[in-house]
């Protein structure tokens, strides 16, 4: 009796194992370790749906966290993709860029350099600043905290017979608020963050009155990135869902459109798209307001992080949306901010002058480029998103050399 496994759990285990094996008709499929509750997983999968890239979803459950993911990339992080020719890919933005080189139809990156530069700025805002907002709503609200701790645990326990949802939910609920100190979350700033949410929704509501997507009438990388945060956290979590529905109905429709890409059921998914906005006709007022929001949130946050890293400081203070907060320095954030700066720097002289004017008018400059670019060596010698020998970056290599990989789990 000790080895008895209920039939339904046997089915879960079988389905989880089956998802990892490509069948004879699936030679071109990608396998993606993901979670339905991960904004970065959602970002990549909605992109792949849009492009028509075939994949099989594999739940990043307990077994994946303990065994598979550390073996593939050296840490517990999602999404992780295994290509049909057995290459390992990790990190959502480089993954999308990698796919764009191989699946060129319906590009999500504007070919116009000025628009592309602005898009990458908004994309990094979505990836690097929005987690502060959605960690605030998810774990700083009792209803969200209780519901989501059980939701995450249900996925984590999938196909695992010796752990219970209730036990893991308690662990999640007690662990997640410990990340507050890394993101400058405290009782003093929570009201300010609530205001940021309403202000952001106000901007998006006006923008989506005139444009279907952030940069016109076709989705960009920035759409998939921002959709990940808003869909998986604010829209899906019970308390913040009310905020989304009441104050962001058009934004909810935008989320629905992206979520249905590639869905053949009832021909629900959109298949025809328009054009990018034309900057020569002027920057839309709503896009200017969104850049102003980025200038007051993401830019001071990311710039202060880069300066702290340069000075060798583990923590830093930044004034974000008019309030000072204390954050942890993270090398990935320094590296991603550097990529945004490099994209601006790579513009031709005329394009740089044009974009610079927009950035000064919206408050993004001078902070974005002031003091030059600080280089992060996190990926020196590596080729993101491709991960070789289970080592994704210099940090993982350092920890492996010190025998501290277990501390990542």
Q: Specify the pLDDT at position 1.
A: 37
Q: Specify the pLDDT at position 265.
A: 81
Confidence band, pLDDT 50/70/90 cuts, at residue 151: confident
Q: Specify the pLDDT at position 405.
A: 53
Structural contact between residues 205 and 247, judged by C-beta atoms closer than 8 angstroms: yes
Residue 382 CB neighbours (<10 A):
17
Q: Specify the pLDDT at position 292.
A: 98
Higher-confidence residue of 25 and 364: namely 364
| pLDDT surpasses 60 at 232 | yes
Transcribe 154-179 into DSSP letters. Answer: HHHTTT-SS--HHHHHHHHHHHGGGG
| pLDDT surpasses 50 at 9 | no
What single-letter DSSP state applies at residue 233? Answer: I
Higher-confidence residue of 358 and 147: namely 358
Choice among 147-151, 255-259, 342-346 with the minimum mean pLDDT: 147-151
Q: Which domains does the chain have, with CATH numbers?
A: 14-106+383-408 (3.40.30.10), 113-138+177-361 (1.20.1050.10)
Contact residues for 365 (Cβ-Cβ < 8 A; gap 6+): 356, 359
Q: Specify the pLDDT at position 11.
A: 47
pLDDT in tens, 311-370: 999 999 999 999 999 999 999 999 999 999 999 999 999 999 999 999 999 999 999 999
328-362: burial string, b at 16+ Cβ within 10 Å, e else: ebbbbbbbbbbbbbebbeebeeebbebbbebbeeb
pLDDT in tens, 274-295: 999 999 999 999 999 999 999 9
Choice among 6-10, 24-28, 92-96, 215-219 with the minimum mean pLDDT: 6-10
For 320, the enclosing helix (H) or strand (E) is strand 315-320
Q: Specify the pLDDT at position 8.
A: 55
Confidence band, pLDDT 50/70/90 cuts, at residue 2: very low
Label the pairing between strands 88-90 and 315-320: unpaired
Distance CA 358, CA 280 (A): 12
CA atoms within 13 A on the CB side of 187: 0
pTM for the model stands at 0.92
3-state SS, one letter per residue, for 188-206: CCHHHHHHHHHHHHHHHHH
pLDDT in tens, 173-186: 777 777 899 999 99
Site of tokens 């959605």: 134
Q: Specify the pLDDT at position 404.
A: 63
Confidence band, pLDDT 50/70/90 cuts, at residue 189: very high
Choice among 11-15, 120-124, 159-163 with the minimum mean pLDDT: 11-15
Distance CA 385, CA 113 (A): 23
Smallest Cα–Cα separation from 229: which of 68, 39, 24? 39
Q: Average pLDDT, whole number, for the chain?
A: 91
Q: Specify the pLDDT at position 6.
A: 52
Contact residues for 251 (Cβ-Cβ < 8 A; gap 6+): 201, 204, 205, 208, 230, 244
Higher-confidence residue of 154 and 355: namely 355
Distance CA 222, CA 95 (A): 14
Confidence band, pLDDT 50/70/90 cuts, at residue 159: low
| pLDDT surpasses 60 at 141 | yes
| pLDDT surpasses 50 at 132 | yes
Label the pairing between strands 30-34 and 55-59: parallel
Smallest Cα–Cα separation from 44: which of 106, 111, 91, 105? 91
Structural contact between residues 36 and 58, judged by C-beta atoms closer than 8 angstroms: no
Structural contact between residues 309 and 331, judged by C-beta atoms closer than 8 angstroms: yes
Region of residue 144 (phi > 0: left; psi between -120 and 50: alpha; otherwise: beta)? alpha
Label the pairing between strands 323-328 and 315-320: antiparallel
Share of the chain above pLDDT 90, in %: 76
């Amino acid at each position: 009796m000790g080895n008895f496994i209920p039939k339904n759990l046997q089915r879960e285990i079988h389905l989880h194992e089956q998802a990892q094996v490509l069948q004879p008709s699936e030679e071109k499929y990608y396998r993606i370790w993901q979670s339905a509750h991960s904004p970065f997983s959602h970002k990549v999968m909605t992109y792949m749906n849009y492009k028509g890239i075939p994949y099989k979803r594999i739940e990043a459950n307990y077994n994946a966290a303990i065994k598979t993911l550390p073996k593939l990339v050296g840490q517990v992080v999602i999404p992780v993709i295994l290509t049909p020719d057995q290459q390992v890919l990790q990190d959502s933005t480089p993954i999308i860029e990698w796919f764009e080189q191989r699946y060129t139809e319906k590009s999500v990156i504007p070919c116009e350099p000025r628009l592309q530069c602005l898009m990458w700025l908004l994309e990094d805002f979505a990836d690097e600043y929005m987690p502060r907002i959605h960690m605030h709503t998810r774990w700083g609200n009792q209803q969200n905290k209780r519901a989501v701790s059980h939701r995450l645990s249900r996925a984590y326990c999938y196909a695992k017979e010796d752990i219970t949802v209730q036990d893991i939910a308690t662990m999640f609920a007690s662990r997640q608020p410990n990340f507050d100190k890394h993101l400058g979350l405290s009782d003093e700033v929570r009201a300010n963050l609530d205001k940021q949410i309403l202000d952001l929704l106000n901007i998006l509501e006006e923008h989506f009155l005139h444009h279907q997507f952030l940069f016109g009438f076709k989705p960009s990388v920035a759409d998939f990135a921002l959709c990940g945060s808003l869909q998986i956290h604010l829209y899906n979590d019970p308390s913040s869902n009310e905020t989304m529905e009441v104050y962001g109905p058009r934004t909810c429709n935008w989320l629905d459109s992206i979520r249905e890409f590639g869905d053949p059921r009832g021909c629900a998914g959109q298949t025809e798209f328009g054009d990018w906005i034309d900057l020569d006709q002027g920057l839309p007022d709503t896009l200017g307001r969104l850049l102003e929001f980025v200038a007051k949130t993401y830019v001071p946050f990311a710039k202060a992080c880069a300066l702290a890293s340069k000075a060798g400081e583990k923590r830093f203070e930044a004034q974000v949306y008019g309030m000072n907060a204390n954050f942890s320095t993270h090398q990935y954030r320094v590296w991603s901010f550097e990529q945004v700066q490099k994209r601006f720097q790579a513009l031709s002289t005329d394009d740089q002058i044009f974009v610079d004017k927009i950035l000064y008018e919206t408050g993004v400059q001078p902070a974005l480029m002031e003091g030059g670019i600080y280089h992060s060596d996190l990926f020196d010698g590596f080729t993101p998103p491709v991960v070789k020998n289970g080592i994704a970056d210099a940090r993982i290599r350092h920890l492996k050399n010190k025998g501290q990989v277990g501390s990542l789990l």
